[in-house]
């Protein structure tokens, strides 16, 4: 259990380093928690707020982590994102949802991975 947790934390750090370095983003929050859900990383990319879900896998092929970000997970992330945006009065900012997958093969960054649509728009 401890092991899994640490894997997650290490992965999130690696993802943050990657996004800040290679992609030139800035980190706004780590492990943002709301009652309705949790977001691993909140970044800004130019003027866009980017909510990042990080999936770390110690084994397995690239892509196996992506599958686990299913509709229910997306919904939780989107709800937490709305909470984050509201708390900062940022609802009119451009928003994007990314997934970063870390596997033994390397880092896989998927921009605009999903679009939660209008139902969470406050």
Partner 1 sequence: MNEIISRTLSFGVSGVNGFPVHVEVFGINGMPGMEIIGLPDVSVRESRDRVNAAIINSGRQMHPRRITINLAPADLKKEGPSFDLPIAVGVLTANGELIPSADYDPDTTAIFGELSLTGEVQPIRGALPMVISAKEHGVRNVILPAQNAREAACIEGITILPVSHLREVIEHLEGKCPIPPQSQIPFEELRNNVAPAADMSQIKGQLGARRALEVAAAGGHNMLMIGVPGSGKTMLARCLPGILPPMSFEEALETTRIHSICGKLNSGGGLMVTRPFCAPHHSASVASLVGGGQNARPGEVSLAHNGVLFLDELPEFSRSVLEALRQPLEDGVVSVNRVKNQAQYQSSFMLVAAMNPCPCGYYGSKNRACRCTPNEIRRYLDRISGPLLDRIDIQMEVDAVPVSEIQQSGDAEPSSSVAERVREARTVQMNRYRGTGLHSNAQLKNQEIRRYCRMTSEAEQLLRAAVESMHMSMRAHQRILKVARTIADLDHQETIQAQHLAEAVQYRELDQKYWS
Residues that bind partner 1 (CB under 8 A): 48, 78, 81-82, 91-97, 112, 115-118, 120-121
**Cβ 39 to partner 1, closest distance in Å?**
14
Q: How many helices (H) and strands (E) does the chain have?
A: 3, 5
**Cβ 10 to partner 1, closest distance in Å?**
28
Which CB sits closer to partner 1, 70 or 92?
92
* C-alpha span between 12 and 19 (Å, rounded): 10
Which CB sits closer to partner 1, 33 or 93?
93
Which CB sits closer to partner 1, 83 or 103?
83
* C-alpha span between 1 and 104 (Å, rounded): 20
* C-alpha span between 87 and 82 (Å, rounded): 9
* C-alpha span between 107 and 18 (Å, rounded): 8
**Cβ 45 to partner 1, closest distance in Å?**
11
**Cβ 47 to partner 1, closest distance in Å?**
9
Asked if 122 and 91 touch (Cβ cutoff 8 Å), the reply is yes
Which CB sits closer to partner 1, 24 or 106?
24
């Amino acid at each position: 259990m401890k092991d899994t947790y640490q894997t997650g934390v290490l992965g999130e750090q690696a993802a943050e380093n990657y996004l800040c370095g290679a992609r030139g983003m800035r980190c706004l929050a780590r492990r943002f928690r709301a009652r309705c859900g949790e977001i691993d990383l909140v970044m800004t990319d130019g003027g866009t707020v980017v909510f990042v879900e990080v999936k770390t896998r110690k084994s397995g092929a690239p892509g196996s982590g992506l599958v686990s970000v299913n509709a229910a997970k997306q919904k939780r992330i989107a709800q937490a994102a709305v909470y984050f945006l509201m708390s900062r009065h940022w609802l009119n900012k451009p928003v994007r949802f990314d997934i970063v997958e870390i596997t033994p093969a390397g880092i896989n960054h998927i921009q605009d991975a999903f679009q939660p649509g209008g139902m969470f728009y406050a």
